[in-house]
Amino acid sequence: MKIKIAVILMCISLMLMMVVIIDSFNHNKTDSPKKADVIIMLGGDSGRLEKSAELYHNGYADYVMISPEIESIRSQSTEYAIELGIPQSAIIEEHKATSTYTNATETLKLMGKYDFNSALVVTSDYHLKRSKMIYDRVNDGQYELTYISALGTNGEKWNERPGAKRLWFTEFYKLWGYRLGLYNFIDVPDAYEGNEA
């Protein structure tokens, strides 16, 4: 009887592990863009600012918030945003964020400061699931948030990029760390992703 129970428990555990692993490959379920007060571009690798500029030029918002704005990192700089046709007057710089969690806390504070009620949150396709989870947790329904995934600079999906296995593994452990509330232990900037963690 004990062996039967152990086998059943082992089978259930293996099935749960398979579900978790299969789900870990599904990062990039993007929302359809809709009109908002601001576009929040989460700092990190290339493609995010380009997607934010595309949304801005298509009239989805009058402002683009860069979090964090770092002039020495082209993909997170105001200078590059201006090159992409976003006027200086439409750019809001956020300088304190060091991770996805602080992206959420700092940008939502700025939304309150600017009296914004809605935002399009733009990040890489592989980073979308974790960003949505933490923004929804920090936001707690205060603002209307829509989540938009950005492909790589050349239009490639996360699994088509060099280093896709590393991206998958990094997001896998960070997502579970976030689910368990371990932000302070896993939130260190990752060199591959620029400043995003």
How does the average pLDDT of the chain come out, rounded? 81
pLDDT of residue 136: 92
Highest CATH level, class, for 29-193: alpha beta
pLDDT of residue 191: 40
pLDDT of residue 148: 95
pLDDT of residue 196: 40
pLDDT of residue 168: 63
d(CA 51, CA 41): 9
Residue segments in the chain with a per-residue pLDDT below the cut of 50: 190-197
Domain spans, the chain: 29-193
pLDDT of residue 194: 41
